[in-house]
Structure 1
Amino acid sequence: MEFGIEHISAENLKKNPTYNLTQSYYNLIITQETRNNVIINNRNVDLDPYSVLFYTSLTQIKIKENFSFQYVFFSDLFYCISEKDSSLIKQVLTMGYPSEGYVKIVIPKDYIDFSQFMVGELTQAKDKIPNPMVKDLIHLMLTQTFIYIFLELSKNQITPTAINSHERKLLWKFQELINEHVQQQKNVSFYAETLSISPRRLAAITKKSLSKTPKEVITDGLIKKAKQKLFYTDSSIKEIAWELGFNDENNFSSLFHKKTGLTPTELRNSLVI
């Protein structure tokens, strides 16, 4: 769906506990005054009062407890009008949990009223999307939201040294190359050479920005690609393992279990949300 916003109440969830919370490629949950808990990719994730959870359709999410929240969803085509829009989204997701496909922040007290105002404006605008001016307004409000999420995530970065704009572009390109080539290429040297930098330089960038080695980032990309195939294809586990460059299905399943806590079969069997 292009764009939508809904108020999900605890009563709604009691009546429909399998409510679809991935109605488009990008999704936002905005909580209210109570602490809550959700299950993301079969792991418990706490949401503080007045939190924002941003995630993609590749993220498996379930509501553990019935609670009220605002749910916003929109497509890639709706929001990513320019390269700047795509870059902002990538930047935000890179700073969260990229292998899991989500980020979360707590809204500070002095921003709560404004966030509620934004929700109200989006709610009023959703039925007027055919109007180009309204669509532009929605785009602007979403951009403001992502910029704010980015700024909040920047405050909470674990690593003390921020990467500069050139290093961030290299990081984005590294992740794009992984998405494009990880089925055939899993060696750090291939990606470093393609980026025209040394493996040591690449390692310095991923350590500063993600607290991970390049090999760990590549593995994250491989797991993401595996999830895509499990979610959106009918290929067997053996076929997926082969497509991802594994000669042995057991080796693929072992790595997948190590990184996600589930076997590929268990994940596929739990996809009904």
Structure 2
Amino acid sequence: MEYIGKTGEYFSLDTVNANNCHLLKEQKNETLLLLWFTEGENELIIDGKKYHFNANEIVCLTQFHQLIVHRINEVKLMRFNRPFFCIIDHDSEVGCKGVLYYGAAQLPILFPDEMELEILETAWKMSALEFEMKDDLQLEMLQMMLKRTLILCTRIYNKQSSNQDKTHPINPKQSDLLREFNYLVEVHFRSKHTVADYAELLFKSPKTLSNTFKKLGLKSPIQLIQERLLLEARRLLSYTEKDISLISDELGFNDIQSFSRFFKNQEGCSPTEYRLSKK
């Protein structure tokens, strides 16, 4: 099922199995994906790391994730682009920026309970029905169903996070700060490499930003910045033939020596050795 609007809006729902798993590999500009595994024993390689997904687990991916399919039994695939619904412009409505999508190096995997699955199933069925309605309200209704799905998934993720570490409860202001930091890292990691860079964008001092993460028992801001840089370096080394000096420039390092030192400190091998290991 596919909706294509008059001004480039794109929204699709598909059920993917071993026979049509090529749908997962399709590249569409500025699209976000939601994968809801409805059967167990699925295996994907995402950015070079192997993941096993069981029934009723959900993962959210952006167009930047590199995806290789090893085994798919059945998964529901939702895909939409920015003209259809921009999660950045509508962040106050769905609150998933920096959580489900554009959350720096973290991969959001959701584990909905029985009641949450019922709501998701209802939203999915209503979305499917709307594809049959060829009237002026179709776009708005499909957007409404998408928003309902994103809001529920954001709630699931936030509940998971709070349950994992009840000794460090997060208040709404702290949550907003973390989400905005994650998003800013996703946008600026190629050019901004220090905590001070992001503290300035957030109108905070570097010490305040670092202390907030520490109080919440999270990785430090500099760790998250470096993890995002490392993730992109791995992608470029694994999935492109770009020269290492060009990758260094693209990631904002002053010279190839600085990039090589960073990569070896983080990964334990040189960029050249890493690239050779992936061939």
Q: Smaller-chain TM-score range?
A: 0.7 to 0.9
CA 121–209 in structure 1, closer or farther in 2 if over 3 Å, else same: farther
CA 136–234 in structure 1, closer or farther in 2 if over 3 Å, else same: farther
* Residues 1:119 and 2:132 are matched in the alignment: no
CA 116–110 in structure 1, closer or farther in 2 if over 3 Å, else same: same
Asked if structure 2 preserves the Cα contact closer than 8 Å seen for 1:175 and 1:221, the reply is: no
C-alpha RMSD over aligned residues: 3.8
Which TM-score applies when normalising by structure 1? 0.76
Asked if structure 2 preserves the Cα contact closer than 8 Å seen for 1:163 and 1:205, the reply is: no
Q: State the secondary structure of the residue aligned to 1:33.
A: coil
The amino acid across from 1:83 in the alignment is H
- Higher relative contact order structure (alpha carbons within 8 Å, sequence separation ≥ 6): 1
Shift, 1:241, TM fit: 0.5
CA 60–263 in structure 1, closer or farther in 2 if over 3 Å, else same: farther
Shift, 1:140, TM fit: 1.7
Asked if structure 1 preserves the Cα contact closer than 8 Å seen for 2:99 and 2:179, the reply is: no
Shift, 1:19, TM fit: 5.0
The amino acid across from 1:138 in the alignment is L
CA 78–224 in structure 1, closer or farther in 2 if over 3 Å, else same: farther
* Residues 1:69 and 2:75 are matched in the alignment: yes
* Residues 1:150 and 2:154 are matched in the alignment: yes
User: Unpaired segments of 5 or more residues in structure 1?
Assistant: none
* Residues 1:12 and 2:20 are matched in the alignment: yes
**Distance in 2, Cα, partners of 1:111 & 1:195:** 34
* Residue-pair matches, total: 263
CA 185–52 in structure 1, closer or farther in 2 if over 3 Å, else same: closer
**Distance in 2, Cα, partners of 1:140 & 1:259:** 43
Q: State the secondary structure of the residue aligned to 1:64.
A: strand
CA 146–247 in structure 1, closer or farther in 2 if over 3 Å, else same: same
**Distance in 1, Cα, partners of 2:14 & 2:270:** 31
Q: After superposition, where does 1:193-204 map in structure 2 within 5 Å?
A: 193-204=200-211
User: Unpaired segments of 5 or more residues in structure 2?
Assistant: 1-8
Q: After superposition, where does 1:94-109 map in structure 2 within 5 Å?
A: 98-100=104-106, 102-109=107-114
Asked if structure 1 preserves the Cα contact closer than 8 Å seen for 2:43 and 2:51, the reply is: yes
Partner of 2:115: 110
Asked if structure 1 preserves the Cα contact closer than 8 Å seen for 2:96 and 2:150, the reply is: yes
Determine what percentage of the aligned residue pairs are the same residue: 22
CA 54–131 in structure 1, closer or farther in 2 if over 3 Å, else same: farther
More helix by share: 1
